[in-house]
Amino acid sequence: MRNLLFIIYLGLLFSSCNTRPKYIEIQNAVNDTIIDDHSYANLNAIKTIHLELEMDVNFQNKTIYGVARHEMVNNNASVAIFDTRNLLIQKVTTGTKGHEQEADFVIGEMDKDSILGQPLKVTVDPKTTQVNIYYQTTKGSEALDWLDTLSTSSKTKPFLYTQGQAILTRTWIPLQDSPSNRFTYNAEVRVPKDLLALMSAENPKEKNDMGIYNFEMDQPIPSYLISLAVGDIAYHPFDANTGVYAEKELLNACKYEFVDLPKMMKAASYLYGEYQWKQYDLMVLPYSFPFGGMENPRLTFVNPTILAGDRSLVSVIAHELAHSWSGNLVTNNTWDDFWLNEGFTVYFEQRIMEVLYGKETADILAQVEFQEMQEEMKELLSGKHPEDTQLHLNLKNRNPDDGMTSIAYVKGAFFLKTLESKVGREKFDRFLKHYFKVFQFKTVSTAAFITEMENNLLFPEKVIFDYDEWIFHNGLPKNSVIINSPRLKRMESLAKRFSSGEKVFEPIVTYEWQKIKKSKKKKRIKKVSKIKREDFIVQEWQTFIRGLSDDISIEKLQYLDATFNFSTWGNSEVMAEWFVLNIHQKNRAVRPAIEKFISKVGRRKYLLPIYKALVSNPEDKVWAKKVFDNSKAYYHAVSRNSVAELFAN
C-alpha cells in the first residue's frame, strides 16, 4: 500500500512538473528591475512562480479560510514581502507541505490613503523557496461580493464572486500583487454541497457531491486575473471550446445572446494568432457585478445587463475575448501602462466586430465610444489631473482605478487606428501578430512597446509617426483618425429637428396610385409611416439622446418616453443615457424607473453618471441618498466606494 501511494505521489509530482516547466524559463530569472508603485512586493529579491491555494468558502460567516502556498525563486533574499489588505494572517511557515517550520513575520503599517494595504514581511533565508500563509478574509475584503439568496436570479441560493483588477486580489489572497509578475496556480476549494465553484483555470462543468473542487492554471498569469465564482450555476456549451455558465434562470437568454461566440473566436484567432488558453467560457454573474465584463482567463465574468435580448451589446464579449491576447497573454507591466491592456483591446474588439457585423456597425460603435471619450477628455483637461489624458500614466500615490478612464480605452484604440492608417492594415496586422508572439506570457511596459514599434514597424516601413505626442502629451493629437458614420449623422439631425419642435415622430401620411387588377383604372391608397424604435439600433438611439438640446423641455422628454419607452426598454446603455438627461432636465416622472434600475444594476459605468447627476441637484440628492442607503449593502465595494465618494464631496 505504501509503495502504491509512493508511486501515485511520484506520478503526481511528475505530472505537475510536466505541465509547468514549459513556461518556467520566462519566469525563473529574477532579472529586470521591477518597480511597481502599487505593490510592496520585493520581486527583485524573491518572487512567486507558482501559487497553491487551499480555500474553505463559508457562506454563514461570509469568510474564506485559506492557505496560500508560494513556490518562489529566491535571489539571496532575507525577507519576502507580500501584499495584503484587510486580511487576518494567522500563521506563516516556510518549507513544503508537511515539512513546515513557523516563520517570523510582521505586518507593516497601512499606507496613509489606505490604497495599497499592508505589507506582510516574512523572514526567510537565501535558501527559502516555499512560503505558506495561513489566513482568513474579513468584511474589508473588497474583492469579495457575498450575495444573499434574494440578490440572485434563483432567489434560493447564495452567490460569491471575486473582482481582482486592479489591486484587490490582495484583499482575498496574500500575495505579490503586481501585474509585472506572472505565476501558475492551482487550488482546492471547498464550498457548500449544493453550489458549484469555478475559477480562472480549467473548470468543472457540473456540481459534485462533495463540494470540493480542484483547479489548475498551468499557464503563468498576473495576480489580478485570479478569480472565483461560487453559486448554483449551470453550463451551456456553444462548441468544443466555448460556452457559458450562468444561474439556470438566465441560461436560455445566454444561449440566444452569445450564440456568435464561436465566430468571434474564429475571427480573433485569424487576426492575431491562435487562442492560447484552451477553453473560453463566459460566466454571467448577478447584476451587482461592478463591470460590464472582466477578462479572467478561461472564464470571462459578464454582467447580465449584456443580456439585452437583441445581441446589441455583444461588443463587450468581443472586448473580453480580445483580452485573451492583449492583457492576459501580453500584460501591462504596471498600472501606469494600463493603456497597453485596454487600448489594444478596444482596437482588437472593433476589428472582431468588423469581421462579424461589417464596417458600418463597427464604425458606429467606435464613434459612440469616441463621443464619450471626447466628453471625458474635456472634463479631465479642466480638472485636477489634466495629465491623465496622456496614454502613459503616473499613478504613484493614487488609486490605480483613477487610470480607468476612456483615455486608456478609446484614445488608446484611436492611437492604434491612426497608426494603422499610416502604415496600412496589412503591415499593421503583421506587426500586431508579431507583438503578441514576442511578448506572449510576458509583461510589457510602454517603453518596451515603443522599442518594438520602432524596430519592427516604423523603421523597416520607413514611417515617421509622432507617437510621443499620443503617449506623453495631454489631449488628442490633431492627426487622429475621425469616424463619420452617416447613420449617426442622421440621428444627430433628427435630434436637432425634434429639439427645435419639428414633429419628426408623428405619422407621415402619403398617397400612392395603385393599378386595379384587370382594369385600366388606378386607385389612390393612403400610406401611414411612422418611425419605430426598431428602425434604429441601440447605438443610434444613444446618439439621438446625446444630440437632444440642453434645454429640451420636460414635455418633449415625456413625449419621447411615451412614444419609445426609453425608461423601460430594458437596454441598459440607452436607459442610463436617458436617465441622466432626464435628471438634468428635472423630469421627475422617471424617478420610479431610475430607482428600479439603480437598485438592481450594480455596474459602476451606469451608477456613477446617474448618481452624479442626482447629487448635483439638492432635492434629487436627498432622494438619491435614500436609494443609495437602501442599495449600498447590495453593491460590490468597487461601486459602493465610488458612489459614496460622490455624496462625500
Are the CB atoms for 302 and 282 separated by under 8 Å? yes
Cα separation, 430 vs 643, in Å, equals: 43
Q: In angstroms, what is the minimal distance from the CB of 413 to Zn ion? A: 11
Cα separation, 383 vs 198, in Å, equals: 42
Cα separation, 497 vs 514, in Å, equals: 33
The one among 222, 292, 304, 602 contacting ligand BES by CB under 6 A:
292
Give the residue with the Cβ less far from ligand BES, 130 or 371: 371
Q: In angstroms, what is the minimal distance from the CB of 16 to ligand BES? A: 30
Q: In angstroms, what is the minimal distance from the CB of 319 to ligand BES? A: 4
Q: In angstroms, what is the minimal distance from the CB of 604 to ligand BES? A: 8
Instruction: Say what the alpha-carbon torsion angle 124, 126, 129, 133 is, to the nearest 10 degrees.
Output: 10
Are the CB atoms for 317 and 261 separated by under 8 Å? yes
Annotate each residue in 109-148 with x if it binds ligand BES (CB under 6 A) or - if it does not, as one string.
Answer: ----------------------------------------
> Residue 527: helix, strand or coil by DSSP?
strand
What is each CA distance from 450 to 339, 432, 481, 583, 592, in whole angstroms?
13, 13, 20, 44, 51
Cα separation, 334 vs 178, in Å, equals: 7
Cα separation, 346 vs 319, in Å, equals: 6
Cα separation, 215 vs 613, in Å, equals: 44
For residue 444, the one-letter residue type is V
Binder of residue 30, out of ligand BES, Zn ion, none (CB less than 5 to 8 A by kind)? none
β-bridge pairing 442-444 and 330-332: parallel
Binder of residue 166, out of Zn ion, ligand BES, none (CB less than 5 to 8 A by kind)? ligand BES
> Residue 147: helix, strand or coil by DSSP?
strand
Q: Is 605 in the site for ligand BES (CB under 6 A)?
A: yes
Binder of residue 142, out of Zn ion, ligand BES, none (CB less than 5 to 8 A by kind)? none
Are the CB atoms for 58 and 18 separated by under 8 Å? no
Cα separation, 603 vs 339, in Å, equals: 21
Residues 322-361 that bind ligand BES (CB under 6 A): 323, 342
Give the residue with the Cβ less far from Zn ion, 52 or 342: 342
Residues 327-356 that bind Zn ion (CB under 5 A): 342, 345
Q: In angstroms, what is the minimal distance from the CB of 292 to ligand BES? A: 3
Q: Is 317 in the site for ligand BES (CB under 6 A)?
A: no
Q: Is 197 in the site for ligand BES (CB under 6 A)?
A: no
Q: In angstroms, what is the minimal distance from the CB of 486 to Zn ion? A: 29
Per CB under 6 A, the segment of 25-33, 291-299, 492-500, 579-587 that binds ligand BES is: 291-299
Q: In angstroms, what is the minimal distance from the CB of 341 to ligand BES? A: 7
List phi, psi (to 5°) of 24: -60, -35
Q: In angstroms, what is the minimal distance from the CB of 558 to ligand BES? A: 30
Binder of residue 291, out of Zn ion, ligand BES, none (CB less than 5 to 8 A by kind)? ligand BES
Cα separation, 237 vs 124, in Å, equals: 47
Q: Is 420 in the site for ligand BES (CB under 6 A)?
A: no
| Binding stretches for ligand BES (CB under 6 A) | 165-166, 291-295, 316, 319-320, 323, 342, 404, 409, 605
| Binding stretches for Zn ion (CB under 5 A) | 342, 345
